[in-house]
Chain A
Amino acid sequence: MAENSATIEETNRMRLKLGLKPLKVGPETSSTQIAEDNMKRHREDEAKKAHEDKVKSRIAKSKNRLELNKTMSGKGLGEASDDDDDGDLYKWTMKSRKKEKERQTAAAAKREKELQELDDAYQGEYDEDQLTGLRVGHDMSDFAEGEERILTLKDSTILENEEEGDELINIQMTERQRLEKNLENKKKKNRPVYSAYDDDEFTSGKKKNLLSQYDEVLGTEQGNDGFVIGKARKINRGGAGDLAGSSSENNGGLSAKEIMNRKLKESAIALTYNKTQQAQDYYTKDEAEITFKKSKKKKKSRSRKTDNWDEEGDQDGDAMEVEKPEPVDISELNFVDDEDLQASLAKARRLATKKTIKKLTPEQIAKNLAESKAMEVEEDFSEKGGLVISDVSEFVSNLASSAVQVAPARPTQTKEDTPEPDSISSPAVAQKAQEDTVMEDTKEETEEDSFRSRTRAESEEAEDIAMVNNESEQAEPETVLAEEPLVSRGLGSTLALLKQKGALEMGNAEQVERSKVQSERAKWLADARLREARLAKEMAQAKARDKDKVRDKNYSIRDRDRDREYENQRREQQLLDERESRMKNYQPDIKLEYIDDSGNRLNTKEAFRQLSHAFHGKTSGKMKTEKRMKKLEDERRLMSMSSTDTPLGMASAFQERQKAAGSAHIVLAVGNRNAVPASLTSSSFGGTTSTLVSGSGSGTMSTASAKTQPSAFSAPSQNAQATMSISGVHAPNREKVTFGLKRKADAAPGSNPEETAPKKTRN
């Protein structure tokens, strides 16, 4: 690999072209070299410095020595005596004393001079002006005119002094003030400390200390009642007014808060009043006038209010009203002014309407009914003389007539019907029977609730059936379509309707069995009660006998004990026997009923499914559930449907057409056409024209089809359902009519001879 390298010259040329500075070819001045140089220089410097120091110290030393020598020159201690008077003590003493004196005078002179200087410095300047701005800690009124007081600077800490500046006080005066204050405090201590109103802060402007009643004034604690010297004097110089001026100035210096306090104090209002004052029963005339001042205006407004009788209820219930409105009595009102009259009239009217238009709840209706019924029953019992036609009497008479027909059909109508013959001839007897049942019901209410209701219902059923019978007998010649009994007419008609629709299955073998069992149970219960009563009676008799025996004197205690024991044994035995015999033909009345969440009655299979689902925590799938729901819905729809006609009113339409055409038949189709041509409306068609004869005679054919629809039909009485005979056919101007329960109709093939011609549809 060829290593491409340029010489320094070439490189420098290149660098020149590129605008770079040329290569540094010279020997490299590395940082280490620089460092070394630096070090060297530094050492040299240090050496030089050391040398200089050495020289300097040498010079100083020599100087010192020179000076020392200078002081040492002259005579030494030993030489001194030699110098003066050759050890003359006296001379030396005199000399030293003189020296001393000289020194003292010099010091004194110096001192005096200093003092003089000081005095000059102060005294030269100190005068009145020096005092301006100094605070005096006393009120101006404390100083009597012409009196001389010595004021001194007040003791204060440095901080206080910084804050407030110097203050002048007179010691005697402060002492006196302190004394006064302490005395006052002592007086205060006797007063109760606590006051419920924490007013001090507002009245005095400063907060109280804790337990301030025990505080003693130690120093000169003064408020802001001092003044400042010379302040006022500068404003109005000279004259006697300067004192007052200064005090007023002082006033002006107060804080705004304090001024407010002072003002408030001036305009203070006492808030105390007699709190324990009670409302009194009796007032003097004046008091009464004060307390009850009735304004004319107010009354007017109230009367206007009563006009609006919607709000009246609210007003009455208003607990917040202080003055209770006097109850407006219409009779006592004097109709002087028009408004009052109007108000009272309105109220009267309102009351009247209230009475009549009272909202009747179902419970109230039921209650009213029950009351009226009870009353009427009583009337029936009490006054048997006159003929009274009422709801009850009608009901009873109907019952009697129905009993004739229905009684043989059911084996047990009442539970204790031993004396009752199969047919009751007179209405009176029937009535009596009814009463009997009612009375027995009241006797055995608790145990046999269900039974009673059943008997009641049955009797009412009977009545209604009778009614329906009567009606149908009357209407028989003309009705194909029987009217559905209206629910609003009563319980009987409701039952009839249910029966007609098949919602209530009557005369079921199972039901008959059940009612039999129930009646047996009732009988058993009654028997048991009777037996118990008898037993109790016997026991009571036995006890009485025992007592009699005890009274007998010949009867010893031992005999009594023995007898009693025997008696007890016998009684127990008897009781056991009794129980055994009682339970001999005991038959409990048990019926298990399963009801699902939506209140539908379930059969055992469905109940098991529900239980299983609950147990396993899973339910049937969507399709199955939907299917079941659909079934239920269908049933519900079936129930809600009219039982006499198709939902589209086909039968009645046919009837009308028949009436219009004046014929006993209707042409449904011609050939393979579904509709009859307009021209061929007459009855002259034969051959391919299939006809349907409908009318009063169709009852015979209906029996077969009725059986195919068990839920829609059940026929306890033969002629009641004779009118249910419409086998659905094509409407004249309709192509095809199909309804929900087509399946059911199809399930009974050949039951109807007309089935082959128009397709039979029914719902």
Chain B
Amino acid sequence: MIEVICNDRLGKKVRVKCNGDDTVGDLKKLIAAQTGTNWEKIVLKKWYTIYKDHITLDDYEIHDGMSIELYYN
């Protein structure tokens, strides 16, 4: 289990518990459940890299305690 911090810098900051082998899509769903937004509207970014839905967090090397930028489209 890892814990990632997602911040949209507009007032929403969530700490999400997930597995390393979860996909980004799963993470988005978890975030959506916690924040109350549509998960399809969520865009996760680290700098200019947009995380794609079908790739796991391990593959993106997202570790415990990392913060991810949260955007909406």
Indicate whether A20 reaches chain B with its CB closer than 8 angstroms: yes
Indicate whether B38 reaches chain A with its CB closer than 8 angstroms: no
Residues of A within 8 A of B29 (CB): 18, 20
* B22-A6 in contact (CB<8A): no
Residues of B within 8 A of A18 (CB): 26, 29-30, 33
Indicate whether B14 reaches chain A with its CB closer than 8 angstroms: yes
Residues of B within 8 A of A21 (CB): 19
Query: A15 CA to B12 CA in the complex, in Å?
Result: 21
**Given A14-B30, A18-B33, do A3 and B1 touch, yes or no (CB 8 Å)?**
no
User: CB within 8 Å of B: which residues of A?
Assistant: 1-6, 8, 11, 14-15, 17-18, 20-21, 23-25
* A3-B15 in contact (CB<8A): yes
Query: A2 CA to B12 CA in the complex, in Å?
Result: 8
Query: A24 CA to B5 CA in the complex, in Å?
Result: 18
* B17-A6 in contact (CB<8A): yes
Closest beta carbon of chain A to B27's beta carbon, Å: 10
* A3-B13 in contact (CB<8A): yes
* A4-B14 in contact (CB<8A): yes
Q: Quick one: which of B18-52 are within 8 Å of A by CB?
A: 18-19, 22, 26, 29-30, 33-35
* B18-A4 in contact (CB<8A): no
Which 3 pairs between the two chains have the least Cβ-Cβ distance?
A: A5-B15, A4-B14, A23-B1
Query: A23 CA to B64 CA in the complex, in Å?
Result: 13
Question: In the complex, given contacts A3-B5, A14-B30, what are 10 additional A-B residue pairs having Cβ atoms less than 8 angstroms apart?
Answer: A1-B13, A3-B15, A5-B14, A5-B34, A6-B16, A11-B16, A11-B17, A14-B34, A18-B26, A21-B19
**Given A3-B15, A4-B15, do A15 and B1 touch, yes or no (CB 8 Å)?**
no
Residues of A within 8 A of B11 (CB): 1
Query: A15 CA to B3 CA in the complex, in Å?
Result: 14
Residues of B within 8 A of A1 (CB): 11, 13
Instruction: Pull 14 A–B residue pairs with CB atoms less than 8 Å apart, ordered by A.
Output: A4-B12, A5-B3, A5-B14, A5-B16, A5-B17, A6-B17, A6-B34, A8-B1, A8-B17, A11-B30, A18-B26, A20-B26, A23-B18, A24-B19
Residue of A nearest to B12 (CB): A4
Residues of A within 8 A of B22 (CB): 20
Residues of B within 8 A of A5 (CB): 3, 14-17, 34
Query: A6 CA to B1 CA in the complex, in Å?
Result: 13
Query: A21 CA to B20 CA in the complex, in Å?
Result: 12
Query: A1 CA to B22 CA in the complex, in Å?
Result: 27
Residues of B within 8 A of A23 (CB): 1, 17-19
Query: A207 CA to B55 CA in the complex, in Å?
Result: 74
Query: A20 CA to B19 CA in the complex, in Å?
Result: 10
Query: A66 CA to B15 CA in the complex, in Å?
Result: 77
Residues of A within 8 A of B15 (CB): 3-5
Most buried by A among B3, B17, B19: B17
Residue of A nearest to B11 (CB): A1
Query: A350 CA to B18 CA in the complex, in Å?
Result: 120
Residues of B within 8 A of A2 (CB): 13
Closest beta carbon of chain B to A15's beta carbon, Å: 7
Query: A437 CA to B53 CA in the complex, in Å?
Result: 122
Residues of A within 8 A of B5 (CB): 3
Residues of B within 8 A of A15 (CB): 30
Residues of B within 8 A of A11 (CB): 16-18, 30
Closest beta carbon of chain B to A182's beta carbon, Å: 87
Residue of A nearest to B29 (CB): A18
Closest beta carbon of chain B to A683's beta carbon, Å: 111
**Given A11-B30, A14-B30, A25-B1, do A4 and B19 touch, yes or no (CB 8 Å)?**
no
Query: A8 CA to B5 CA in the complex, in Å?
Result: 15
Residues of A within 8 A of B26 (CB): 18, 20
Residue of B nearest to A4 (CB): B14
Closest beta carbon of chain B to A452's beta carbon, Å: 105
* A14-B33 in contact (CB<8A): yes
Closest beta carbon of chain B to A41's beta carbon, Å: 25
Residue of A nearest to B14 (CB): A4
Residues of A within 8 A of B35 (CB): 4
Closest beta carbon of chain B to A22's beta carbon, Å: 9
Residue of B nearest to A1 (CB): B13
Residue of A nearest to B1 (CB): A23
Residues of A within 8 A of B30 (CB): 11, 14-15, 18
* A4-B17 in contact (CB<8A): no
Query: A2 CA to B26 CA in the complex, in Å?
Result: 23
* A24-B34 in contact (CB<8A): no
Closest beta carbon of chain A to B61's beta carbon, Å: 13
Closest beta carbon of chain A to B60's beta carbon, Å: 17
Query: A527 CA to B3 CA in the complex, in Å?
Result: 136
Residue of B nearest to A5 (CB): B15
Query: A18 CA to B27 CA in the complex, in Å?
Result: 11
Query: A411 CA to B9 CA in the complex, in Å?
Result: 124
Query: A2 CA to B35 CA in the complex, in Å?
Result: 12
Residues of B within 8 A of A24 (CB): 1, 19
Most buried by A among B1, B12, B14, B16: B1
Query: A8 CA to B30 CA in the complex, in Å?
Result: 12
Query: A8 CA to B11 CA in the complex, in Å?
Result: 23
Residues of A within 8 A of B33 (CB): 14, 17-18
Query: A21 CA to B30 CA in the complex, in Å?
Result: 12
Residue of A nearest to B64 (CB): A28
Residue of A nearest to B6 (CB): A4
Residues of A within 8 A of B12 (CB): 4
Query: A708 CA to B4 CA in the complex, in Å?
Result: 116
Closest beta carbon of chain B to A10's beta carbon, Å: 9
Q: Which of B1, B3, B34 is within 8 Å of A4, CB to CB?
A: B34
Residue of B nearest to A13 (CB): B33
Q: Which of A4, A6, A8, A17 is within 8 Å of B13, CB to CB?
A: A4
Query: A349 CA to B13 CA in the complex, in Å?
Result: 125
Residues of B within 8 A of A14 (CB): 30, 33-34
Query: A538 CA to B60 CA in the complex, in Å?
Result: 131
Query: A8 CA to B17 CA in the complex, in Å?
Result: 7
